[in-house]
Chain A
Amino acid sequence: MNQTKAINPSSVSAGQPAAQPSVGAILWIAWFSVREMARRKRLISLALINLLPVLVVGAIRIWFPGEGITAQMQLASLTYDTFIPFLIPIAAMAVGIPAIGEQVEDGTIVFMWTRPIKRRAIYLGRLFAAQIVSTVLMSGSLVLCFMIMVSEGTSIITFDFLKLYLVTFMIIGLGAFTYSALFAAMGTFFKKPVLPAILLAFGWENLVTNIPARVQELSLRFHLQNLIDRPPAAPNDLPGILGALLSTAFNREPVPKIQSVVVLLAVMLIATVVGIWLLRHKEIEK
């Protein structure tokens, strides 16, 4: 029997190989993860769902041209009533939930875990990919909407419209990044995360957003919607009447925009930190 002697840890620490620089690793993982996510079949259904705003804008362009529904009103309403309450959560859910959890569940994460990469870099790379994919999906929809709107004539391209368009991009991006971070953390924590995610996005958010007073501030949707400047609607048209009714009924009190941005960024940050912590303590089962 050959004798063995233990290596003294202190004697090897001087030559300890360093982990990969995190930024490089994050970018490599993100790049391959984007390619992986882009090939998923569910992305096709997601892209089709994201055509909804394009259909609405197209329908308005075809059936109600020049009837007082301005491009700005359309854009603001679509963002407020379609992107924020539905499309952003759905897209973020579809790519955020499986971003990390699925790899842990199917065991393929073992190939990342056995590289000289910190787990936070793996998490951030995967999360970043999910955030990019969900943002790009909705941006594509927004670009198509823009093209249909400007087909009416270049006169609609005013400074205010362009400003609103860019702000809309940013709001959608911020929403996609925040929701994706939240769903990625949920996907890492729960074994079956879909139901809790649906309950959060369409249960809690719906409920809380419609509760009067400051309780509304407990939803991401409220803060995203708070960032939109909806152009004043004519009081006698349908959106105007509905808006006034909702405002009166549910007493949506705006908060300073910077507060909403800070809240969204804080949620994103906390969810990411929690997700990284969860992944650090995760163990391979397969």
Chain B
Amino acid sequence: MMGAGVGRTEARISADRVGKWFGEVIAVNNCTLSVGTGVVGLLGANGAGKSTLFKMLAGLIEPSHGTVRVFGSKLREDVGWFRRVGFCPESDALPDWMTGREFLSLMLRLMGYDKTEVKRRTDHWLDRFDLTDAAGRRLGGYSKGMRQKIKLAQALAHDPDVIFLDEPLNGMDPVSRKQSIDLVRELGEAGRTILVSSHILPEVESMTHQIILIDRGKVLAEGSVAEIRDKIPEHPTTVALVSADCRGLAGFLIGREHVVGVEVENMPDGDRVIVRTDHALGFYRALPGWILENNLTVDEILTLDDSLEAVFQYLTER
């Protein structure tokens, strides 16, 4: 397993050798991780064990072995911590007989707020998610996107410090999706811990570069996408350098530190140098110095395969 943890500060969520099995099926196996502040994506294909791990972290299911702590406590036992925790489930189940306003008000009531505060927060969050006009309608009549928004609203309305969002953008229209992504990023920058579970990579990539990758019940990697990418030796990172003197640049780069392969590629709009590096961060740090000291020309730098999708693909194919 890679890395000690993700996030910017001390761990608010931690799991120590956590496992969960259902009968003979091992859903999560010996996972250790810690999450500090900021937005962190929990990524995995369907059936990877992502939901099980997510529910264990949120205190909804008990690990078969190991311990999960949020703020150093077990949520299932010290339920008072839920005052500082928000949870948006993946499931579409809502109490359909309630109106949006009733639902949000009840959720806030159960957080312990008085009538005035409940109303203030309900109005604010209904407005924030453009649900004010639909507030008096039954949840049963809400569209999929509206249901998703009211679930998000109940998870955020009490200003929690730790927020679990399980597939939060499911069914949302593009505008709501963009607004929700911005909101999540804003909350992350404000010092909240947000763990977002998703199997849609671009969705997570738009919110954060801090990720935890899970596959077949195991945490494969955790950290920033670039850091994780660097730790996949079978697939050196591919960088394209656009230059007026591709041959000179390629010749210089051959045998340099962190460079494992160089070739010149002919493109319709001009040549470019393709560099394969086993340590992209080190290469990026060294490159400006090489350019200045050796009068090289580089017009553009493109990273071809350090996207989340590429990282995910490389890690899961191992």
Could you list which residues of chain A lie within 8 angstroms of chain B, going by C-beta atoms?
A: 1-13, 16-20, 25, 28-29, 32, 35-36, 39, 106-108, 110-119, 281, 283-284, 286
Contact = CB atoms under 8 A, between A and B. Distances in A.
Interface string B68-105: 01011100001111111111010101110110001000
A129 to B, nearest CB: 13
A33 to B, nearest CB: 10
B3 A1 contact: yes
Given A36-B95, A110-B60, A4 B82 contact: no
B14 interface: yes
A100 B79 CA distance: 19
A107 B91 contact: yes
Interface residues of B, number: 53
Given A12-B71, A115-B110, A117-B79, A7 B12 contact: yes
Contacts of A13: 72-73
B224 A4 contact: no
B219 interface: no
B93 A108 contact: yes
A6 B91 contact: no
B227 A108 contact: no
Given A4-B10, A5-B11, A110 B80 contact: no
Contacts of B55: 283-284
A6 B79 contact: no
Contact of B110 (A3, A110, A117): A117
Contacts of A8: 72
Given A5-B10, A112-B110, A107 B79 contact: no
Nearest to B87: A114
A20 B82 CA distance: 10
A3 to B, nearest CB: 6
B175 to A, nearest CB: 26
A264 B292 CA distance: 89
Contacts of B112: 20, 116
B80 A18 contact: yes
Given A9-B73, A12-B73, A16-B78, A111 B154 contact: yes
A116 B111 contact: yes
A283 B62 contact: yes
Contacts of B72: 6-13
A53 to B, nearest CB: 29
A77 B147 CA distance: 51
Contacts of A5: 10-11
B82 A1 contact: no
15 contacts: A1-B4, A1-B224, A2-B9, A3-B4, A5-B10, A7-B12, A10-B72, A17-B81, A20-B111, A28-B109, A32-B98, A32-B102, A36-B97, A116-B81, A284-B61
